Structure 1
Amino acid sequence: MRDNDLKKLLEKMTLKEKISQLIQLTPHFFKGSGKITGPLASLNIDEGVVSNSGSVLGASGASEIVNIQKKFLEENRLGIPLLFMADIIHGYKTIFPVPLAIGCSWDLKLAEKSAEIAAKEASAAGIHVTFSPMVDLVRDPRWGRVMESTGEDPYLNSEFAKAFTRGYQGSDLSEDVSRLAACVKHFAGYGAVEGGRDYNTVDMSELQLREYYLPSYKAAIDEGAEMVMTSFNTVAGVPSTGNEWLMKDVLRDEWGFEGVVISDWGAVKELIPHGVAKDEKEAAYKAILVGVDIEMMTSTYVQHLEELVKENKIKESIINDAVLRILRLKNKLGLFERPYRGANEVLEKQVLLCQQHRNEARNLATKSTVLLKNTGVLPLKITQKVALIGPFAENRDILGPWSWLGSKDDVVTLGEGLKTKAHDSFLFIAKGCDIEDSTEEEWIQAKQAIKQADVIVLALGENSDMSGEAGSRGNIKLPDAQLQLIKKVKQYKKPIVVILFNGRPLDLHGVIENADAILEAWFPGTEGGNALADLLYGDENPSGKLTMSFPYSAGQIPVYYNCFNTGRPKDVQDAQERYVSQYLDIPNEPLFPFGYGLSYTTFQYTDAKLSKVNFTTNETLAVSVRVTNTGAMSGEEIVQLYIRDIIGDVARPLKELKGFKKVFLNPGESKIVTFEITEKHLKYHHQNLNFKSDSGDFIAFIGPNSKDLIALPFRFEK
C-alpha cells in the first residue's frame, strides 16, 4: 500500500477509531489465552474500543493469532489489521543464554544469529514485533534487569544493539516474513536506577547521559529499529513517558526517528504517582504531546483524548501523526495484504526447537560461559569420578526470567549433559541443598556421592525469580544454604569446581576462596547442560569474557572499569596514605574486572607497537600486538583495545573500550592483531555538549582485559 493510500485510509477513520488504534491490549480482551504479566487494571473500555484497537501484547501460537486476527477483521469497519507484539528477549521457544551472557561471548555474529532464529520461530507463530533489544547500560548488579543488558560499556552495548536489530529485522521486513520488527528499550537511562531498585528514579547530568547511556539506543535506531519503548524512570526529573526534551527534542528532532513509540506497561498512567500529572486526563495529555504513539495496557488515551481535542487542548493532527506512524509500520510488515503474516502451523512445528536451533543455542552458551578461576582442576578427565552436587545439579530452571515461552521440559540439565560424557559408574549426583534452604537428608545423600568421587562439581546460583524485572536484591551473595554447602564440601579436601547459574554479577565471598575452579554460566538456556558438559570435559575451551564487573562486595556498587580519576586518586605505591579516594575496609577495584575471562590455555602478548607516535585529522594510527598461544590446547582469545585521553575539557575515563577482535590460535601459534585508531575514536562530549576531539596526549592500551594492559602513548594534533 502506498503512503497516499494510508493517508486516505486515515481520512476515513473517525476520531474514536483513530484513538482506539493507540491502545495495546492483551489477548484476554480478544478471548485469547496469552500470558499476562504486570498489574492488570480495570480499563473500563467497551467493545467498540476493542474492535478498533491497534495491537495485541503477548499472544502466541499461529492458531491463536490467526483466530484473533480473523475475528477482529470481521468486526473492524475499515479492515485495519492488528499488530501482534511480544517479549522475545533471548529466544522464542529455543532459548539462548540471557543477553548479559550473550554479551560475554563478544561475538556479534552469534548474537545476530540468535536474534534471527528467535525471529524465525516467533514469526512462524504469528508475532510481528519483539520488545528487544534492551540496550540499557548497567553498572549496578543489584538491579535484576542487568540480565537483559549486554553490560557496562557504551561501545560494546552499541555493537550488540546493532547486531540484535539486524538479526530481528533482516534487510526487508515487507518481503521477509521470517523477521520481526525490533523495539529498542528502555528509552532512556533505565539501567541507572538509584540503589539498583526497579522502577526507581534516575538522575544524572546530560553530559553523562549523552556520553554513556544514549549511544546504544541511537545505534539501534541508526541500524533501523522500527520502534522505541519508553522507560519507567525519570530523566532530569521528568518521567520518560512524558518527557518532551527526551522524546521530541532528542529522539524525533535530533536523531530523526520516524517510527513508533510505545509506552512500557502502564507507564502513561504512572505519570500520576510520579507526581507530574494530577489525573488520567493530564497523563494522556502529556504523553500524546511528547509523541508516545501506543499506550500499553492503560486506557487514558481512549478515555480522554477525544475530550482533549474537543476542548482544543490538543490538535487532532497530533493523533493523526501517531496513527499514521502505526499504519506505516503495519504496511511495512505487509499486514494489509497479508494480515496473517508469517503465521504457519506447519512451519511452526518444523522450526520451533529444531535441532539446528538447538545447536546454535548450545554453541552460544559455550561461547558465553566465563572461566573466572582455575587452579588446574579443569578440564575434567574422563577417568575421574565426579560428584555433581547442588541445587542446580538437575534443575531445569536455567532459562532465565525473560524466557516467556521457553519450557523447562525442553531444557538439558547439567546432570543430563554430564551423563553424555561420563559413564554411570563415574558420576554421582545429589542435590545437597535447595536454593535457599536445606535438609539433613539432602546432605546425607551428598556425602555419599562425595565420598565416591575424585572431584566435586558444585552447581549453585539463583532461581530465575531472583533476577529479571522486579528482581532487585540488596544482598547479591549466594543464599546462605549454598554457602554452608560449600563449607561442608570443602572439609573433604577434594578439588571443587563451582558452576554458577545467575542473572547478575554476584558477590562471590564464600565461593572464591573455597573453589578450585569457577565457571560463570549465567542462565545458559535450553542447551545449557550440554554446553557446560562440553566445557567441563575440555571438548570446548572457555573463551567468554565479562562485560560487567564483579564487585568485591556490594559496598563498592556501582563499580565499573571506565570510571574517572579523582583529585585524590589512590596510589598503590603509597598504601598507607589515608586522605585519598578509597575504602578503609575493602579495595577500590572489583573482584573481576570488565573484559576478564580465563582459558584452558594461556596467551602471551608481545611486540605491541604503534605505526607512529603522532597523527592528525584524516590520518590513521595502527596499533598492533603479537598474540601467542603458549599453552597446550587450542583456544580463542578476545584481544581488547582501550584508549585514555590524558587531558580533556571535562574529566575523562581512565580507559575506554574502542575495539576488540577474536583470534583463534593452536598451541604455539602466533598472530599479529592490528587495530586502527582515527579521530572518531577520540571524540567525546564537551562542557557545551559538542561532540568533538581535542589535540593532546593519549594512551592506547592493548591486552586481554581492562586491567592487564600494555600502554602505548601517542599524540593527536587537529
Structure 2
Amino acid sequence: MKHYLPVLLLFFTLSACAQQPYQNAQLSIDERVADLLSKMTVEEKVMQMRIFHANKGIKIDDAGNLSLEGDTKERLRLGIAGIKNPGEHNDPVAAAKGNNALQKYIIENNRFGIPALFVTESYNGVDAEGCTKFGRPITSAASFNPELTHRQWLVVGNEARLRGMHMCHSPEADVVRDPRFGRMSEAFGEDTYLVKENVVAAITGVQGNYDGLGKGTHIGAVAKHFAGYGQVLGGTNFAAIEISERTLIDEIFPPFEAAVKEARTLGIMASHGDLNGVASHANPWLLTEVLRKQWGFKGYTVSDANDIGRLFYFMGVAETPEDAALLGLRAGMDVDLYADDAYSLLPGLAKKMPEIMTYIDRSAGHVLRTKMILGLFENPYIDVRETERRVRMTSSLALAREADEESIVLLKNDNKALPISKSTAKKIALLGPILRETSLEQFQKIAPGVEFVAEQGFRLTDEQRAVPKVNENTDAALDKLVGIARTADVNILFLGGDEHTAKEGFFNNALGDRASIDPVGPQDELLRRVKALGKPTIVVFTHRRTLSINGFDEHADAILDGWDLSEFGDEAMAKMIFGDANPSGKCPSTVPRHIGQLPFHYSGKRINNKKGYLFMENGPLYPFGHGLSYTSFDYSNARVSAPTLTVPGMITASVKVTNTGSMAGKEVVQLYLTDEIGSVTRPAKELKAFKKILLQPGETKTVSFKITPEMLAFTRLDMTKGVETGDYTILLGTSSAEGETVKFRLIAD
C-alpha cells in the first residue's frame, strides 16, 4: 500500500484544494489571499514574487503549439508570479493558443492551481506582433487630448488580454525634461499636469476603467519608474538622480500619486537609479511610507530588470547578494523581475531569519491579490474566437489614424506654404533618411492624382541594435537626392530621428542616450541644398527625442512635427500637407536652441530667465504648448468671476476664442498660473488646465476653467503642502508664451 501513498496523497490534496476558501469568489479577496498564504510553503510564496522572461525556454510556434525547453519546467514547478512577453513574436491567435497552453501547464503543475501573470509593455500599442500600432506616448501627449489617449489604451488593454496577457509594464508616469535621454518618447512630456492627465487616461484605459479587469476584457497597468527616472544626471540610463525634496513632491510625484489614487493602477515599477543617494529599490520611504502609507497603494511593486540584485553588484549599497535581497524585501519590493540571484535566495534566508516571513507574506499576498482582481482563478484562459474577431478591428485602425491627425504639430508655416493644392503641384519629391517603406504608398492614397517620386537616399546609422554608428558615407546619396529635388515642383524632406538614434540603453553593451541633441548626420546640409533650388521645401519631422532644429527652422518653408506616429502616420502627414486635415497638436516639450540651455523647461524657476547666453538668441526655439493651425484664433475678454479666491472656495477664469480664419480648426486653450510671491522661489508658470475645442470659421466660444485652492498648493518653506495668501497671474492662451492675462488674489487665512 505504501507504494501508492504519494499518489493518493496528491489526489486528496488536489481534491481538498478544490474546496478551499481561496477558490471561493464569493469571499472577499483579503479572505481568499489569507487562506491561500496559510497553506503555502516559503518556497511557493517566493515563487509568487518572481518573474522570468519567456526567452528562457518558452517556445510558441506559428500554429500556437507550446514547448518548454531548458529548465523551464523546473522554474514552474512551484508556480510563478509571472512570465514576461510569452508569444510576443507570434500573431495574436497563435499567442492566445500558446498562452492558454502555458497557463494550463502552470495551473496543473503547482499544488494550488495558482495561475501566472503574463506581462507585456506598450509604447506603440501592445509590444507584440499583429496588434494595432499607435503613436508613442509623447505623440499622444502632443494631441493635448487625454480622452483620445484613454480610447487608445482601451484598445491596448483589450488587444493585450486577447493575446492572453494580464499586466502591462506601462505607462510611464515619469516627467521627462532631458532630450539627451534615449527613452524620452516613452513618457508624456515635460509638464507635470500634462503627464498626470495622460497617465490617468492611459491607466484607466488599459484597465478597462477597472471594471474590465475582473471581466477578463482588459489588463492591469504598472506605472513606472518610481520615482524621478526621467531626471537621470547627464540624461544617461542608470545614472544617479538628484532632485530636491520640494521638486520631487510638487513636480515628480503627482503623476504617480494620481496613478494610485485616481486610476487605481494595479502595479508600480521602481526606478533603475537612486534618489538623492538612496537606491530606489532599497528605499522604504519611497516604496512603503509614501506609496503605501501616504497614498494607500494596494497593488504590487515590481523591480526594473534585475535591479534588486544590482543593489549588490552595481549600486554598491549591499555587501552580498543576500543583503541585496533583504534590502529590497524590507523596503517594499514585491516582485523580482528576471533575476536568478536575488529573491531566489529568500527561502534559505527565511530559515535563518524567520522574522522576514512577514515581508514575504506581504509581498506574495500583493501578487495573489492582483491575480484575484483579474479573475484568473475563475477564468484563466482566452476565447481564441474572440481573438480572431477583435484584434486590429476596423475601429481600432481608424482610432490610430484619428490620433495621428490630432497629434501632429505645425511648428512653422511661412507665407502659408501649407497646405499645398493637389491640382497645382504636379510632381512632388518625398526625400530623406526618415522616409519609410510605406511613405510613398500612403501619400499616393491621399493624393492619387499627384505624381510622386520617393527616395530615402541614406540611413542615419548602420542600425546596429546595441551601439549604432553614424553613417558617414553619404556624399553620393546627397547628390542623388538634390538631383531628384531639382526635377520636382515641391520637395518634402523626411528628417529627424528614428528608433536607432533614440532608444533605451540596456545594462551591458548597449547605448541609447546622446551627448548632443543636434540632428544626426548631414540632414541640415541636405535641407540647405534642396532649399537653394528655389522650390517650396516642407519638412516632415519625426523623432523620439527633442532635437535642436535651428537649421530646419531657418531653411524650411514649413515644418510638420509628428514625433513618432502610428503605422498610418504618413497618411496623416499627407492629409495635413494637402489640407484634408488641419493641424491641432501642441508641443509637449520645450524645444531648445542648443544643448547648452539644458535643463530647460517652460516651468523652470523665474530666476532662471534673468540671463541668457553670449552669442545666442535667448529663449526656446519653440515654447511648450506651441502649435499653429491653417486657420487663426483670436483670444479676447479674459476675466475671472471674482477678484479673490478664498479657502475653501472656487472662482472661474474664462476667455473668448474666435476662429478668424476661413477653415474649421481645433484649438487647445491652455491655462497657466504664476504665483507672484511665495515663501520659496516659484515656477515661472504652471499648466493647470486645458481644453481642446472645435471652431467653425467665424465661430466664437467662451472657454471657462474652475480654479480651486487645491490647484495652487505647493511645498512651502516649512516643507508642508498647502497654499499661501498672495497674488496670481493667469495666462489663457495658445501656448505657454502667448495669450491673455488676468489676475486674482488668494486669501488663505
| TM-score, structure 1 as length reference | 0.92
Call closer, same or farther: CA 1:583–1:33 in 2, change over 3 Å: farther
| Counterpart mapping for 1:210-289 below 5 A | 210-222=249-261, 223-272=263-312, 273-289=314-330
Q: Residue 99 of structure 1 aligns to which amino acid in structure 2?
A: P
Size of the aligned set, in residue pairs, is 682
Deviation at 1:681, TM superposition (A): 1.8
Amino acid at match of 1:67: A
Q: Which residue of 1 aligns with 2:204?
A: 166
Q: Does 1:128 align with 2:166?
A: yes
Match of 1:453 in 2: 488
Maintained 8 Å contact 1:601/1:635 = yes
In the superposition, relative to structure 1, how do residues 687 and 393 fare at CA in structure 2: closer, same or farther (>3 Å)? closer
2:700 partner letter: S
The equivalent residue for 2:64 is none
Mapped partners of 2:410, 2:732: distance in 1: 21
Q: 1:73 aligns with which of 94, 103, 107?
A: 107
Q: Give, in angstroms, the shift of residue 330 of structure 1.
A: 0.5
1:574 matched residue in structure 2: none
Distance 1:301 1:442 in 2: 51
Contact 1:45/1:299, CA 8 A, preserved across alignment: no
Which of 184, 206, 209 aligns to 2:223? It is 184
The residue aligned with 1:646 is 676
Deviation at 1:171, TM superposition (A): 3.3
Alignment of 1:620 with 2:650, yes or no, is yes
Distance in 2 (CA, whole Å) between partners of 1:112 and 1:45 is 37
1:446 Cα offset (Å): 2.9
Report the Cα distance in structure 1 between the residues aligned to 2:253 and 2:417, rounded to whole angstroms.
43
Work out whether residues 233 and 240 of structure 1, in 8 Å CA contact, stay in contact via their aligned partners in 2. Answer: yes
Q: Give 1:24's match in structure 2, choosing from 28, 34, 51.
A: 51
Alpha-carbon shift at residue 29 of structure 1 (Å): 3.9
What's the counterpart of residue 5 of structure 1? Answer: 32
In structure 2, relative to structure 1, the CA distance for the partners of 1:339 and 1:429 (3 Å cut) is same
Label 1:504 to 1:592 Cα distance change in 2 as closer, same or farther (>3 A): same
Q: Distance in 2 between matches of 1:144 and 1:455?
A: 33
The answer on 1:414 being equivalent to 2:439 is yes
| Equivalence for 2:22 | none
Provide Cα deviations, 1:256-277, integer angstroms capped at 9, x if missing partner: 1111000011111111211101
- In 2, the alpha carbon distance for the partners of 1:504 and 1:440 equals 26
SS, match of residue 709 in structure 1: strand
Residues in 1 aligned to 2:705 and 2:334: alpha-carbon distance in whole angstroms:
43
Number of the residue aligned with 2:731: 701
Q: Distance in 1 between matches of 2:482 and 2:556?
A: 18
Q: 3-state SS of the aligned residue for 1:604?
A: strand
Partner residue, 1:40: none
Which amino acid in structure 1 is aligned with residue 153 of structure 2?
A: A
Counterpart of 1:328, as a letter, is R
Output the amino acid matched with 1:659. Answer: A
Specify the code of the residue in structure 2 equivalent to 1:449: I
User: Which residue identity lines up with residue 529 of structure 1 in the other structure?
Assistant: D
Q: In the alignment, which residue of structure 1 is the partner of 2:176? A: 138
Indicate which of 689, 695, 709 corresponds to 1:679: 709
Contact kept? 1:89, 1:130, Cα under 8 Å: no
- Give the AA of the match of 2:501: M
Q: Residue in 2 aligned with 1:405?
A: none
Q: Pick closer, same or farther for the CA change 1:530–1:389 going to 2, 3 Å.
A: closer
**For the residues of structure 1 that align with 2:476 and 2:286, how far apart are their CA atoms?**
57
| Counterparts in 2 of 1:717 and 1:439: CA distance versus 1, 3 Å | closer
C-alpha separation between the residues in 2 aligned to 1:485 and 1:540?
Answer: 28
1:89–1:131 contact (8 Å) kept in structure 2 = no
Residues 176, 189 of structure 2: 8 Å contact kept: yes
Q: 1:395 — aligned with what?
A: 436
SS where residue 428 of structure 2 aligns? strand
Structure 2 Cα separation of the partners of residues 45 and 415 of structure 1: 46
Are positions 1:382 and 2:382 aligned together? no
SS of equivalent residue, structure 1 residue 513: helix
Helix, strand or coil at the partner of 2:554: coil
Following TM superposition, by how much is the alpha carbon of 1:684 offset from its aligned partner in structure 2, in angstroms?
A: 0.8
**In the aligned structure 1, how far is the partner of 2:73 from the partner of 2:59?**
17
Correspondence for 2:150: 112
Q: Quote the offset at 1:486 in angstroms.
A: 1.1
Separation (CA, whole Å) in 1 of partners of 2:326 and 2:703: 55
Change (3 A) 1:617 1:283: same
- One-letter identity of the residue aligned with 1:228: I
Matches within 5 A, 1:415-454: 415-423=440-448, 426-436=451-461, 437=471, 439=474, 442-443=477-478, 445-454=480-489
Measure how far apart 1:301 and its partner are: 4.1
Q: Which amino acid aligns with 1:374?
A: N
Q: Pairwise mapping of residues 506-521 of structure 1 onto structure 2 (< 5 A)?
A: 506-521=547-562
* Partners of 2:599 and 2:321 in 1: CA distance: 36
**Whole-angstrom distance in 2 between the partners of 1:681 and 1:553:** 33
Instruction: Indicate the SS of the match to 2:560.
Output: strand
Using the alignment, how far apart are the partners of 1:642 and 1:544 within structure 2? 18
Q: Which residue of 1 aligns with 2:346?
A: 305
Q: CA deviation at 1:151?
A: 0.9
The residue type equivalent to 2:401 in the other structure is R
Deviations 1:343-395, CA, capped at 9 Å, x for gaps: 23322222222321111001101111111000111111102134333345641
Go from structure 1 to structure 2 and tell me whether the alpha carbon gap of 1:453 and 1:712 turns closer, same or farther (over 3 Å shift). Answer: same
Q: Which moved more, 1:432-441 or 1:199-208?
A: 432-441
Secondary structure of the equivalent of 1:615? strand
Q: 2:686 aligns with which of 625, 635, 656?
A: 656
| Deviation larger for 472-481 or 432-441 | 432-441
Greater RCO structure (CA 8 Å; 6+ sep): 1
Q: Amino acid of the residue matched to residue 242 of structure 1? A: A
1:378 counterpart SS class:
coil
Q: Is residue 387–residue 427 contact of structure 1 (8 Å, CA) maintained in 2? A: yes
Q: TM-score, normalised by structure 2?
A: 0.88
Q: Which amino acid aligns with 2:577?
A: L
**Aligned AA for 1:201?**
A
Residues of 1 paired with 2:51 and 2:367: CA distance?
12
| Distance in 1, Cα, partners of 2:290 & 2:450 | 63
Q: Given residue 356 of structure 1, which amino acid in structure 2 is its aligned partner?
A: S
Q: After superposition, where does 1:447-526 map in structure 2 within 5 Å?
A: 447-470=482-505, 471-526=512-567
Kindly provide the CA deviation profile for residues 236-286 of structure 1, in whole angstroms up to 9, marking residues without a partner as x: 211111111111111111111111000011111111211101221111000
Q: Within 2, Cα distance between the matches of 1:639 and 1:13?
A: 56
Partner letter of residue 340 of structure 2? S
Residue segments in structure 1 that go unaligned for 5+ positions in a row:
35-42, 397-412, 571-580
Partners of 1:352 and 1:534 in 2: how far apart?
26
Q: What's the counterpart of residue 628 of structure 2? A: 598
Q: Tell me the equivalent position of 1:349.
A: 388
Query: Quick check: 2:220–2:267 contact (8 Å CA) kept in 1?
Result: yes
Q: Which residue of 1 aligns with 2:404?
A: 365
Shift of 1:212: 0.4
Q: Distance in 2 between matches of 1:175 and 1:228?
A: 19
CA contact (8 A) 2:48 2:368 kept: no
Deviation at 1:6, TM superposition (A): 2.6
Once the two structures are TM-superposed, the CA of residue 210 in structure 1 deviates from its matched residue by 0.4
Change (3 A) 1:44 1:120: closer
- 2:433 and 2:476 mapped to 1: Cα distance? 17
Query: Which letter does structure 2 place at the counterpart of 1:310?
Result: K
> In structure 2, the residue corresponding to 1:704 is in which secondary structure?
strand
Identity %: 33
Instruction: Please say which of residues 116-125 and 611-620 is displaced more in the overlay.
Output: 611-620
Shift in Å, 1:484 = 2.0
Relative distance call for 1:80 and 1:423 in structure 2 (3 A) is closer
Q: What is the distance in 1 between the residues matched to 2:427 and 2:698? A: 31
Deviation at 1:14, TM superposition (A): 1.0
CA distance in 2, matches of 1:423, 1:164: 36
Match of 1:636 among 648, 660, 666: 666
Separation of aligned partners in 1, 2:532 and 2:32: 76
